[in-house]
Structure 1
Amino acid sequence: MRAHAFATGLALSLTAASAAAHHSQAHFNLDPAAIETIQGTVTRFDFRNPHVYLYLETVEADGSTAVWELEATSTPNLIRRGWGRDTLSPGERVTVDIHPAHDPSLHIGRVGSVHFPDGRSLSATSGGPPAPANLSTTTLAGRWWGRGPISQTQLDRTTLTWELTPKGQAAVDVFDGSQNPQTRCIPMTAPTIMLYTSIFDVTLTEERMDISGEWLNMQRTIYL
């Protein structure tokens, strides 16, 4: 009984420790005007899902050192933007544009771009391979890549251009990024989910259309 209780407690503590490493995006100031730039030495680079992490040792203004834990998006998104498992190595000096934490005492941030001493730069939030030219199809079935204008960091913003009812405008006026389910890695609903730069597989029958999204294992069924 005692051994079983110990094992259960250990499993729960390990689960909690793993979950603690994931930061809700609500922790970060995602306003483009809030981006900060830090420079330091890579101590660790974890290229894995659901988020890639970069650990950077920096020299603070008072001369002390600090290790920043910097979170990026998932590996599929980064791979299409030119990243890979060997993009960063311990001991490498880089400059990183980050969305900092709302709490300035926390050494955490959301990666925007990484700049290398040789002049190269990699974005973690935008970009990707060019779309092939002159492609066409006669069916919605198949594999699609979202090319919408949705930024993965601008969770508290909207690009709506159509006229809203007074009730709709009131909802927009009080909306902030913490209300967006994506900050907790919960998929957003349609149609927004369809505008992200990720892969979608569409199967089509006479009765229904099934859409499977690469990002967050999104599943959607449309009955025809």
Structure 2
Amino acid sequence: MKKCDDLLRREQHIDVAWNHHYEKAKRAYFTRLNGSIDTARLLLKQGLPFRGHDESKNSNNKGNFLEFYDCLVQHDIELNKAVTTNAAGNSCMLAPEIQRDIVECFANEVLHSILDELGNDVFCLLVDESRDVSCKEQMAVVLRYVDKYGIVKERFVGLVHVAETTSSHLKSSIDSLFAKFKLSLKQVRGQGYDGASNMRDTNCAFILLMYEKMVDSPT
């Protein structure tokens, strides 16, 4: 009879206790994640660096991200509880890898909004060299277009690493970027390369390709 009574008490079953613990841990996880996202949003909006020179627990200045996060923890009761009570050692959502993932998500959202605003309208392609600190060659790509309110906008859409700076390789890199963004060469109405001599052949190649597409088009 006692075992039968225990079986009828649903709230005491193992699966119920486990699901309760799981839901509690999941809520704490998302609370910590939202705290990291809010901190990253503030730093990105202000254009501030994330990392510090000494991010150890005993450091007086652990960097902007950790310092802002600690300040947020002190003023948010739910986040404070999720960090101090319900946080596992490997689930604090503060690692540099997590920070980079959050920044990449913000970058994708910004890029998506730029491409949505551009739509199928025409634009001007601006490309310039931007070598990083490790001396790796990069292309900085900017789109200039007019929005629906008639305002001219220039939007940075990304950096493209290039193995070499020959015109053929730069052209193939731009083609790959256009394919990734689902843009067409028919939308290009101007090009700017900051007077780079190795882009002259690329410019000619784009003009010929655009001409071929116009000839092949039934319109």
Same fold, judged at TM 0.5 (above): no
Indicate the structure with greater strand content.
Answer: 1
Larger radius of gyration: 2
Indicate the structure with greater helix content.
Answer: 2
TM-score w.r.t. structure 1 length?
0.24
